[in-house]
Amino acid sequence: MASYIDIAVNLLGSALEPDIAQIVQAAADQGVSPLIVIGSDLTESAAAIQLCQNYPNQLYCTAGVHPHHASLWQTDSKQIQADLCLAPQVVAVGECGLDYNRDFSPRPAQRQAFITQLELAIELQKPVLMHERDAHSDFLSIVSEYRPHLRGALLHCFTGTRAHMEAYIDLDLHLGITGWVCDERRGQELAELVPFIPKDRLLIETDSPYLLPRSMRPKPKSSKNKPEYLPYIAQYIANLRGENPAEFAKQCYKNSLAFFNLSQHNG
């Protein structure tokens, strides 16, 4: 059976939280292990570290402040985040970035929190897991400035245009692709772009419980997306790229191990 790493799972603060043990096991049964648990604010990041301690080698996490929560950023936030990032379970700084679609936090606060977290990733020499929605121009200018010093930079849940994709690849970013690509209404443009992402820059994710792949048959009874569906997404992307699904899965797994520096766990 192929091995997969789901690089973005919202296990905490979501509809998945009540069923964590069952979700981790069901994913592992499909070869999806470990899972990377997203920390979207400092409290959740601390909880994610504790959760990962209960599932050694099965769960790792990020520690960061999502742009939705950027207005909570305070003078001591960077130090708190730095301490969290020293936990061995934390494999990336983030989720951080810009979201001008919802504007849950004022844009200047988003930019400040994002820049500070990029600086932290550079200081700690940890990769960064980033979010961008309807903020391409500001995102690009900020990331361009810091990219030369970052150990690794991943834009998760990429759904942009060809021009966006080319700009991000020029910056040597990794791009995370979700089941959005399986949506014949919204995902059409992404489906056309996926074949042009260099194979060593591509990572796959569910972003569960969100973005359940619309093309799954039989349709899951629950509308919740789960990490166990990652092999379906992988096969779908492999088909779009005209690649052998097993080879594609192997490449994505290798990319994920390298990006998150998990190679020592490759049993």
For the chain, what is the HEC assignment? CCCEEEEEECCCCCCCHHHHHHHHHHHHHCCEEEEEECCCCHHHHHHHHHHHHHCCCCEEEEECCCHHHHHHCCCCHHHHHHHHHCCCCEEEEEEEEEECCCCCCCHHHHHHHHHHHHHHHHHHCCCEEEEEECCHHHHHHHHHHHHHHCCCEEECCCCCCHHHHHHHHHCCCEEEECHHHHCCCCCHHHHHHHHHCCHHHEEECCCECCCCCCCCCCCCCCCCCCHHHHHHHHHHHHHHHCCCHHHHHHHHHHHHHHHCCCHHHCC
The answer to the question of whether 131 is labelled as a binding residue is: yes
> How far is 248 from 267, CA to CA, in rounded Å?
19
| Residue 68 annotated as lining a ligand binding site | no
Q: Is residue 170 a known part of a binding site?
A: no
95 is in an annotated binding site: yes
Is the sign of the CA dihedral 209, 66, 18, 235 positive or negative? Answer: positive
**Residue set of the binding site:** 95, 131, 156, 207
**Residue set of the binding site for a divalent metal cation:** 95, 131, 156, 207
